[in-house]
Amino acid sequence: MKKIILKGFHFSFLPIIKRVERLSYEVTFDKSAMYDLGSFDQFDWNKLIGVKANYFSPRKNSLMVGWRWNITKQCIQLTDYRHDSEGTALYNDNGILDIPLKDISKPFKIEIYEGFIEEEKHGAVIGICLRIIANNSKTKVERKFFDLPTLLKSSKWWVINSWFGGNRRAPQTIKIKIK
């Protein structure tokens, strides 16, 4: 399916309305994901796809993949982007994976699943895992979180649809292939 964020909008069309036990998608950007907002808003994180505990709120108990076009580095940056039960946004603002311009149209895989996490203080605990595999498995990033307990209470999560911004709406139509 192609996710389309129309110029002047935040949200993508067509919506994904389903529940999953595990999220596993192959994602491909194209050059429409390269944008210039001409302000500090360039560094806001857009949301690619993710999961949430509550159908009505992606801003509580959620885990997503954030993305942005880094105009200086000429790459798409990806990061883990989550909200705790209070709605506080938690993310790595430096990004966790860069997709250089030469690889922008190559597919990569995103997985979100429940799994065991080895944790020094608590031993093996169940947590939420995010895995991003880019460029035919040459680059792999994995993040593990056990600070999203409400997400763990449900055996199924709601899928979060893609959207553009932070503060600004899409400056052009952006197309992202998600399958």
List the beta strands (DSSP E) in 56-134: 62-70, 75-83, 89-91, 97-100, 108-119, 123-134
Evaluate whether residue 122 is within a structural domain. Answer: no
Quote the domain boundaries for residue 41: 2-110+148-178
Evaluate whether residue 91 is within a structural domain. Answer: yes
Evaluate whether residue 129 is within a structural domain. Answer: no
Q: Is the pLDDT of residue 137 over 60?
A: no
The 10s digit of each residue's pLDDT in 53-96 is 888 888 888 999 999 999 999 999 999 999 988 999 999 999 99
Evaluate whether residue 98 is within a structural domain. Answer: yes
Domain count, the chain: 1
Evaluate whether residue 7 is within a structural domain. Answer: yes
Q: Which residue has the tokens 């309305």?
A: 17
pTM for this model (two decimals): 0.90
- Which tokens in the block code for residue 170? 């899409």
Q: Is the pLDDT of residue 146 over 60?
A: yes
